[in-house]
C-alpha cells in the first residue's frame, strides 16, 4: 500500500468482530453445548491448610444423577506455568493450601445435581498450622509452605547496580518511604469455563476460556500423560482476562480427565466465588524505598526492600519477584540501584500476573517518592522527571531501549492538563498529580527455553478473493483479530470484508505463546506482516507480468494493483490472485517473529525484564477530596501513551481507557482481602466492588508515536502500560489537594480521614462536624 490515505493502519476503524460476538453467533465457551454433555463441579477445601486424610464418595455415588468422582490421586502429576516451579496439582494430592483449593471433581447429568453432590462428598481433613499474612509467613516457619518445607519462602531476588551506599552518602537529600499495595483481583465479567470431549477416535479436544492455549496444550499432555498429538485445544472468544487466565487451571484438567473416564463431554463453569479462589491477581506488596538526589534534582540512588505475599502456589511468582525490581529502571531513574525482593507463600488464593504484572506496585511507591523528592528540593515534579529521563539506549540494569517517546508524553499531559497554570493553585480540596512509567512489549524470552519463533501466522489465499489468517494469538478483547485483519488487508490491498481470522486453535493455527506481557501487537503483528509480504511479492510479479512492467513499478492500492504510469489499467486484487495462483500454484505463506538474541543484562536474572521494546506513559490526575467524608473523587485523567505507532487508534484508545479505569479502581475501591480465618472477605461482585458507570472519571487518552525500529510499522504495546502510573498520579493529586501522603492502598475514605487527622489536628474539627 503506497499512498497514505488509503491505508487502514493508523485510521480510526471499527472493531469488526463485536456484532457476531454479542448476538451469540460467535460462541463463548459457556455457549457451547455438546450431545450427552455432563456438568461437573469442583469440591473445595474449607480449611486454610489441611492434609486430606480420607475421601469417602459413598453418599455421592448413591445419587443416580452423579456419573463420576475424581480426586488428586487420579491426576497425581505436578504442573506450573514457570517450568522451574511446578508446585501445583490439578486437585490437591496430599495437602490443600488455601480455603477454596480444589480437592475433587464430580460430574453429573445436570449442574444442580453436581452442585448438590459437592456437599455430600465426605472428606476428612487434618487441620495444619497456617500463615495468613506476610508477618505470619515470616514468623511461623513451622507452617513449611516453602519448597524445602523449612520456611515459607517462594522466591528471593537480590540485585545491585553501581554503588548505592556511596551515592546515598553523597546525596543532598535522602528520603525514606514505606508503602503497602493491597492485593486486587482481575474480576473479568466472564468466569473461567472449560469443556472437554474425548471423541470416539481417541482425540481429546478441550475448549477453554484461556489466554495461553499453547501452554495449556503442553501441560494437558504432561499432566494427563497423553501425547500432545492426540490433544486439540481451542480457545473461543474470551470474556475478559487481564492476566487471570494466563496459566492452566484445575477445571481444564478435571474436565479432561472426567471426559476420558466417562467417555462423555464434560463442562465446568466456575461460579463468581470460584473466580476469586482461582485468583492469580495482584500480589500484595509491602515496600520500603530509599531515594537519594542532589539539590539540583539529579537522582543519585534507589534502594528498595519488597516483601511479596504470593499466596498458596508459585504461579508466575518467580517472574513477579524479579519484575518487582527489574521494571523500575525506566523512564526516569538513578545511576545506582539496589533491590531485595522476597516472595512468601501464604495460605491464601495464589497471586499471579494482573495487568502490569509485578511492576504496578513498585511503580506506585517510586512515583510517590519522586513527588516527595521534588517537593523537598522545591522542583516541579515534571521537571524532576525530565531531568532524570533515561536518555541512554540502555538502562542501569542492562535493558536496551530502541524507541522512547517519554519526554513527549510528559509534555503532552503537562499541556493538556494545564499543569503549569493549575497545579497547586486549585484551592484546598482539589489537586493535580503527575506520574509516569514504562512497560515491556512482551518478554524477550519464551517461558520454556526453546529456539523456535514466539509468534507465527499462516495465510491461505483463496481464488474467491478471501484471505484467511490462521494465527495462534489469543483474542481476549484487546483486538488482536482486528489487528491481524487490518495488517493483511493493507499489505494485500484487500477489503476487510475479504479477510477471515481464525485464531487460537492448536489444530488449525501455528503456535503463538499467548496473550500475556503485552506481546500481542509487537510479536503477532511482525509475524503477520512477514507472511503477507510473501504473498504480496507473488501478486506483484503476476501483475507485473500482465502489465509488462518491472515488479518494482507495481504498487498496491485498495482493491487493486496498478503500475506507475498505467493507473488506468488497474488489476483487481482477486484477478491478481487468480493470475498468481495460475502461475505459482496454490498460494499460501507462513510468517513468524523471533525476538532478538542476547537481550538483557549479563547477570543471573538479567534476562527477566528484557523486551524487544518498551512503551512509555505519563498520567496527570485531577481529584477532589471531601475533607469531611474522606471521599476522593477522580474528576479527570489525562494519559499520554507512547505506543510506537497506533495501528488501530480506536483499539489503542480502548486499551488506554480500560487501563486507566482499572488503575483508578485499584486506587480507590478494590481490595482482595483474606481474613484471619483464611476466608475471602467478599468473594462476589457486590462486596468486591468494581466501579459502575457512575464512578468513573473523564479520561483523555493522548496517542504518542515514537516509531520503534523493530515494531510492526513501528508499533509497541498499549495493553498494560497505561495502567501503572494512574495510581501514583491519584496519590500525588491527593497531596496537592489536601497535603496528605497516602502510602497504603486503596485510598478509602476512612484512611483519608485518618491521614487528615494525623496531618492537621484542626482538621479533626472540620472532619467531625465542626463541634
Partner 1 sequence: MLPLPRFRMFRPTTVAEAAGLLRDLGEDAQLVAGGTDLLPNMKHGLVGARALVSLQNVAALKGVRVERQSLRIGALTTLESLAEDGRIRELAPGLAEAAEAVGGPHHRRMGTLGGNLCLDTRCRYYNQTHFWRSALGFCLKKDGTVCHVVAGGQKCVAAASNDTAPALIALDATISLESVRGEREVPARSFYTADGIYNTTRERDEIVTAVTLPIVPGRTSGFDKLRRRNAIDFPLLSVAARVDRDEGGIAALDIVVSALAARPRRLAAAAKVPPGTRPSMDLVHRLSEAAKKECRPLDNVEGDAEWRHEMVPLLVERLSRRLGLG
Partner 2 sequence: MTTSANEDIGPTSAMGSWRSMNPKASPTTHTLVVDESLRDGLQSPSVRNPHLDEKRELIHAMGAIGVDVVSIGLPAASTRAVDDAAALLKEISDARLPIRATAAARTTEADVAAIAEVSQRGGASVEVYAFIGSSPIRHYTEAWSDDFLVQRVAAAAKAAERAGLPFCLVTEDTTRASPSVLSRLWAVALDSGASRLCLCDTVGHAEPSGVEALVGFARNYLDAHGAQSVELDWHGHEDRGLALANALTAANAGVERIHGTALGVGERVGNVAMEPLLYNLGLAGRRPRTSLSALRHYSDLAARSFAFPISTFAPLVGERSRSLDEARTARCALAQQQKTEARATVEPPLEEGWMPIRLRLNGDNIEHMTRPSRTLLEMLRYDLDLVGTRQGCDKGDCGACTVLIDGEPHLSCITLAASCDERSITTVESLKGPPDLDPLLDAFDRCAAGQCGFCTPGMLMTATALLRKHPRPSRDTIKRALSGNLCRCTGYGAIFDAIDLAAKIRAGEEPPGVGLPGEHVPPPLAPQQEKAPTKEKAR
Of 733-752, which residues contact partner 1 (CB under 8 A)? 748-750
Residues of span 414-473 touching partner 2 by CB under 8 A: 464-465
Contacting residue, 384, 542, 573, 742, with partner 2 by CB under 8 A: 573
Contacting residue, 177, 588, 682, 739, with partner 1 by CB under 8 A: 682
Piece of 401-409, 547-555, 608-616, 678-686 that binds partner 1 (CB under 8 A): 678-686
Piece of 84-92, 213-221, 676-684, 711-719 that binds partner 1 (CB under 8 A): 676-684
**Residue 51, interface with partner 2 (CB under 8 A)?**
no
**Residue 360, interface with partner 2 (CB under 8 A)?**
no
Which of partner 2, partner 1, none sits in contact with 343, Cβ below 5 to 8 A by type? none
CA angle 270, 283, 184 (to 5 degrees): 55
**Residue 746, interface with partner 2 (CB under 8 A)?**
no
**Separation between Cα atoms, residue 309 and residue 325, nearest integer Å:** 15
Give a three-class secondary structure readout of 542-583.
HHHHHHCCCHHHEEEECCEEEECCCHHHCEEHHHHHHHHHHH
Residue (290 or 554) nearer to partner 2, CB? 554
In the stretch 528-567, what mask flags binding to partner 2 with x, by CB under 8 A? Answer: ------------------------------xx--------
At a CB cut-off of 8 Å and minimum separation 6, what does 84 contact? 318
Q: At 622, list the grid cell.
A: 485531577
Could you tell me how far CA 135 lies from the centroid of its own chain? 28
In the stretch 66-105, what mask flags binding to partner 1 with x, by CB under 8 A? Answer: ---------------------------------xx-----
The dihedrals phi and psi of 435, each to the nearest 5 degrees, come to: -160, 160
Virtual torsion, Cα 497, 503, 506, 509, nearest 10 deg: 50
Residues of span 227-286 touching partner 1 by CB under 8 A: 269, 271, 273
**Residue 112, interface with partner 1 (CB under 8 A)?**
yes
**Separation between Cα atoms, residue 755 and residue 734, nearest integer Å:** 11
Residues of span 609-628 touching partner 1 by CB under 8 A: 628
**Separation between Cα atoms, residue 99 and residue 499, nearest integer Å:** 48
**Residue 65, interface with partner 1 (CB under 8 A)?**
no
Which of partner 2, partner 1, none sits in contact with 123, Cβ below 5 to 8 A by type? partner 2
Residue 116 CB, nearest approach to partner 1 (Å):
8
Contacting residue, 58, 227, 568, 771, with partner 2 by CB under 8 A: 58
**Residue 21, interface with partner 2 (CB under 8 A)?**
yes
Q: At 41, list the grid cell.
A: 463441579
Could you tell me how far CA 66 lies from the centroid of its own chain? 38
At a CB cut-off of 8 Å and minimum separation 6, what does 692 contact? none
Q: Is 525 helix (H, G, I), strand (E, B) or coil?
A: helix
In the stretch 432-461, what mask flags binding to partner 1 with x, by CB under 8 A? Answer: ------------------------------
Query: Residue 496: exposed, middle, or buried by beta-carbon count in 10 A (0-12, 13-18, 19+)?
Result: middle
Side-chain-side CA neighbours of residue 728 (13 Å): 26
**Residue 691, interface with partner 1 (CB under 8 A)?**
yes
Q: Is 455 helix (H, G, I), strand (E, B) or coil?
A: strand
Residues of span 181-200 touching partner 2 by CB under 8 A: 186-191
**Separation between Cα atoms, residue 74 and residue 61, nearest integer Å:** 17
Which of partner 1, partner 2, none sits in contact with 127, Cβ below 5 to 8 A by type? partner 2
Contacting residue, 125, 180, 445, 555, with partner 2 by CB under 8 A: 125
At a CB cut-off of 8 Å and minimum separation 6, what does 224 contact? 75, 204, 231, 253, 256, 257, 260
| Contact footprint for partner 1 (CB under 8 A) | 44, 46-47, 99-100, 111-112, 115, 118-119, 269, 271, 273, 628-630, 669, 677-684, 686-687, 689, 691-695, 748-750, 753, 767-771
Amino acid at each position: 500500500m503506497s499512498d497514505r490515505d488509503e491505508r487502514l493502519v493508523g485510521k480510526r476503524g471499527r472493531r469488526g468482530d463485536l456484532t457476531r460476538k454479542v448476538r451469540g453467533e460467535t460462541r463463548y465457551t459457556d455457549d457451547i453445548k455438546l450431545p450427552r454433555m455432563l456438568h461437573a463441579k469442583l469440591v473445595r477445601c474449607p480449611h486454610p491448610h489441611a492434609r486430606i486424610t480420607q475421601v469417602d464418595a459413598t453418599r455421592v455415588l448413591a445419587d443416580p444423577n452423579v456419573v463420576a468422582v475424581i480426586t488428586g490421586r487420579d491426576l497425581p502429576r505436578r504442573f506450573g506455568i514457570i517450568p522451574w516451579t511446578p508446585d501445583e496439582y490439578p486437585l490437591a494430592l496430599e495437602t490443600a493450601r488455601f480455603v477454596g483449593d480444589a480437592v475433587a471433581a464430580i460430574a453429573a447429568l445436570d449442574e444442580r445435581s453436581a452442585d448438590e453432590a459437592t456437599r455430600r462428598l465426605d472428606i476428612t481433613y487434618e487441620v495444619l498450622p497456617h500463615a495468613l499474612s506476610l508477618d505470619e509467613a515470616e514468623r511461623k516457619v513451622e507452617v513449611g509452605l516453602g519448597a524445602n518445607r523449612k520456611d515459607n519462602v517462594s522466591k528471593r531476588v537480590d540485585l545491585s547496580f553501581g554503588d548505592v551506599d556511596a551515592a546515598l552518602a553523597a546525596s543532598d537529600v535522602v528520603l525514606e518511604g514505606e508503602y503497602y499495595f493491597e492485593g486486587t483481583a482481575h474480576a473479568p465479567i466472564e468466569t473461567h469455563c472449560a469443556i472437554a470431549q474425548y471423541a470416539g477416535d481417541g482425540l481429546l479436544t478441550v475448549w477453554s476460556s484461556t489466554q495461553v492455549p499453547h501452554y495449556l496444550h503442553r501441560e494437558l499432555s504432561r499432566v494427563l500423560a497423553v501425547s500432545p498429538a492426540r490433544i486439540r485445544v481451542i480457545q473461543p472468544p474470551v470474556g475478559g482476562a487481564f492476566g487471570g487466565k494466563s496459566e492452566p487451571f484445575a477445571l481444564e484438567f478435571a474436565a479432561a480427565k472426567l471426559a476420558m473416564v466417562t467417555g462423555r463431554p464434560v463442562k465446568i463453569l466456575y461460579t463468581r466465588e470460584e473466580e476469586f479462589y482461582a485468583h492469580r491477581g495482584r500480589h500484595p506488596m509491602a515496600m520500603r524505598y530509599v531515594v537519594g538526589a542532589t539539590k539540583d534534582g539529579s537522582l543519585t540512588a534507589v534502594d528498595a526492600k519488597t516483601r511479596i505475599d504470593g499466596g498458596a502456589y508459585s504461579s508466575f511468582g518467580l517472574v513477579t519477584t524479579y519484575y518487582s525490581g527489574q521494571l523500575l529502571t525506566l523512564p526516569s531513574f538513578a545511576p545506582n540501584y539496589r533491590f531485595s525482593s522476597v516472595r512468601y507463600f501464604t495460605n491464601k488464593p495464589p497471586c499471579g500476573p494482573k495487568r502490569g504484572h509485578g511492576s504496578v506496585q513498585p511503580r506506585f511507591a517510586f512515583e510517590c517518592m519522586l513527588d516527595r523528592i521534588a517537593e523537598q528540593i522545591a522542583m516541579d515534579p515534571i521537571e524532576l522527571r525530565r531531568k532524570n529521563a533515561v536518555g541512554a539506549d540502555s538502562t542501569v540494569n542492562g535493558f536496551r531501549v530502541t524507541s522512547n517517546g517519554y519526554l513527549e508524553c510528559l509534555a503532552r499531559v503537562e499541556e493538556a492538563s494545564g499543569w503549569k497554570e493549575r497545579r497547586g493553585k486549585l484551592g484546598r480540596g482539589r489537586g493535580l498529580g503527575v506520574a509516569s512509567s514504562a512497560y515491556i512489549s512482551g518478554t524477550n524470552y519464551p517461558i520454556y527455553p526453546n529456539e523456535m519463533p514466539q509468534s507465527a501466522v499462516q495465510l491461505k489465499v483463496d481464488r474467491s478473493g478471501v484471505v484467511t489468517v490462521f494465527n495462534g494469538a489469543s483474542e481476549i478483547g484487546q483486538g488482536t483479530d482486528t489487528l491481524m485483519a487490518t495488517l493483511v488487508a493493507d499489505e494485500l490491498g484487500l477489503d476487510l470484508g475479504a479477510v477471515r481470522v481464525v485464531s487460537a486453535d492448536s489444530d488449525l493455527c501455528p503456535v503463538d505463546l499467548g496473550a500475556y506481557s503485552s506481546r500481542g501487537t509487537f510479536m503477532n503483528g511482525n509475524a503477520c506482516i512477514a507472511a503477507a509480504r510473501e504473498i504480496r511479492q507473488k501478486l506483484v510479479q503476476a501483475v507485473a507480468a500482465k502489465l509488462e512492467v518491472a515488479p518494482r513499478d507495481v504498487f498496491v492500492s485498495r482493491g487493486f494493483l496498478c503500475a506507475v504510469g498505467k493507473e488506468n489499467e488497474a488489476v483487481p486484487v482477486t484477478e491478481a490472485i487468480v493470475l498468481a495462483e495460475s502461475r505459482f500454484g496454490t498460494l499460501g505463506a507462513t510468517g513468524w517473529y523471533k525476538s532478538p538474541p542476547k537481550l538483557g543484562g549479563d547477570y543471573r536474572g538479567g534476562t527477566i525484564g528484557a523486551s524487544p521494546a518498551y512503551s512509555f506513559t505519563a498520567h496527570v490526575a485531577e481529584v477532589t477530596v471531601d475533607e469531611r467524608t474522606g471521599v476522593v473523587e477522580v474528576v479527570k485523567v489525562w494519559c499520554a501513551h507512547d505506543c510506537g505507532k497506533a495501528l488501530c487508534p480506536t483499539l489503542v484508545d480502548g486499551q488506554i481507557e480500560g487501563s486507566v479505569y482499572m488503575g483508578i479502581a485499584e486506587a480507590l475501591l478494590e481490595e482482595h482481602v483474606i481474613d484471619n480465618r483464611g476466608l475471602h472477605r467478599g468473594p462476589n461482585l457486590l462486596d468486591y466492588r468494581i466501579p459502575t458507570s457512575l464512578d468513573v472519571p473523564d479520561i483523555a487518552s493522548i496517542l504518542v508515536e515514537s516509531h520503534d525500529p523493530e515494531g510492526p510499522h513501528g508499533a509497541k504495546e498499549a495493553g498494560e502500560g497505561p495502567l501503572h502510573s494512574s495510581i501514583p498520579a491519584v496519590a500525588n493529586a491527593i497531596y496537592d489537594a489536601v497535603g496528605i501522603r497516602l502510602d497504603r492502598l486503596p485510598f478509602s475514605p476512612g484512611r483519608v480521614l485518618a491521614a487528615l487527622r494525623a496531618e492537621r489536628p484542626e482538621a479533626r474539627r472540620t472532619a467531625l462536624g465542626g463541634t
